[in-house]
Structure 1
């Protein structure tokens, strides 16, 4: 497995992505397919939110490509490992190793799903095969009646460990989320109380962006290099 992982990292160009990848289209992509980290849950895990019901795929692929989306995903995973859990661990005073994910299916349709199916399959494969240690609690919210059909397509692509972490909720999800996430840390549109100035999806707010952690991270980078 380690050999396969090393081979994949070389073939995908992970080291080059970490050092050189830039995503100037981020704000434009956010309009059509919001995917973002935002604060922490009650256990200190960084919260990752993806809103699958919002995509306008014609507009999305006019400003980026699937290849660049996947490279951005890998860049985010690498940043996650080196920055987010360590910062969260320092902030809450105990080890934090995984994320708390929210996949919002509000307004999702079959056309939404099939428009991004190839990306979802590729992204899921990268997540569970290359970065399985990153995934913790996983909430699917606003699951519509047709989700059972979509889940039938997705589930075979996921391993049993991943499936066991997933909680599927309909529109009555707020109580479950707020049992895990402080209201002030959950975006208002998802039932919380947070309204970041620039918008929660672009704020990247969390311990990893606090000045004291960035100072520690800079000192660690200096020592390493």
Structure 2
């Protein structure tokens, strides 16, 4: 996972496995089940390849969701600003149907996967990102479905990848 073999004694694997254990309050069976589901999702989704794909969202890069800089403790920072979707044409172009929504979700995972490549996965190292979300002008009702799907995907498949959320 993320280029790190989970079996074989690599200390980076310990960091990843600990994230799954913490996410399930150290219940080993629940943590293992979560990990199994995550690995199956990653394979089906193609999460290991998504970072390199051209998904056609150049207009959103650097505007809607993007990695930029580091905080004082060297965590990579991911900025999110969904106010651009108050424009009905932009909203329709990105979320107009189920296929467009799926493509957007893939792109949003792509942004996170690129951020994860900046992590150390070392005990005591930088093992999570900072998430900054600008809620100004965000059309909450219209983006509810996309927001819920993003949140669900991230909670199920990226445990403890976000150190702090700033809104």
Does 1:77 pair with 2:107?
A: no
**TM-score, normalising length: structure 1:** 0.50
Q: Which residue of 2 aligns with 1:4?
A: 37
Which structure 2 residues correspond to residues 148-167 of structure 1 after superposition, within 5 A? none
Q: Give the Å deviation of 1:18.
A: 4.5
Does the CA contact (< 8 Å) of 1:57 and 1:116 recur in 2?
Answer: no
Q: Which residue of 2 aligns with 1:144?
A: none
SS of the residue corresponding to residue 68 of structure 2 reads strand
Cα distance change on mapping 1:35 and 1:16 into 2, 3 Å: closer
* Larger of the two Rg values belongs to structure: 1
Q: Give the Å deviation of 1:62.
A: 1.7
Q: Which residue of 2 aligns with 1:43?
A: 73
SS of the residue corresponding to residue 69 of structure 1 reads helix
Distance 2:88 2:163 in 1: 28
Between Structure 1 and Structure 2, which shows a larger proportion of helix residues?
1
Q: Which residue of 1 aligns with 2:89?
A: 58
Cα distance change on mapping 1:103 and 1:42 into 2, 3 Å: same
SS of the residue corresponding to residue 133 of structure 1 reads coil
Q: What 5-or-longer segments of structure 1 have no aligned partner?
A: 141-225
Q: Give the Å deviation of 1:38.
A: 1.1
Does 1:123 pair with 2:156?
A: no
Distance 2:40 2:88 in 1: 32
Does the CA contact (< 8 Å) of 2:55 and 2:107 recur in 1?
Answer: yes
SS of the residue corresponding to residue 29 of structure 1 reads coil
Q: Give the one of 23, 35, 46 matched to 1:13.
A: 46
Q: CA RMSD in A?
A: 2.6
Paired residues, number: 128
Distance 2:157 2:145 in 1: 18
Deviating 4+ runs (over 3 angstroms): none
SS of the residue corresponding to residue 84 of structure 1 reads coil
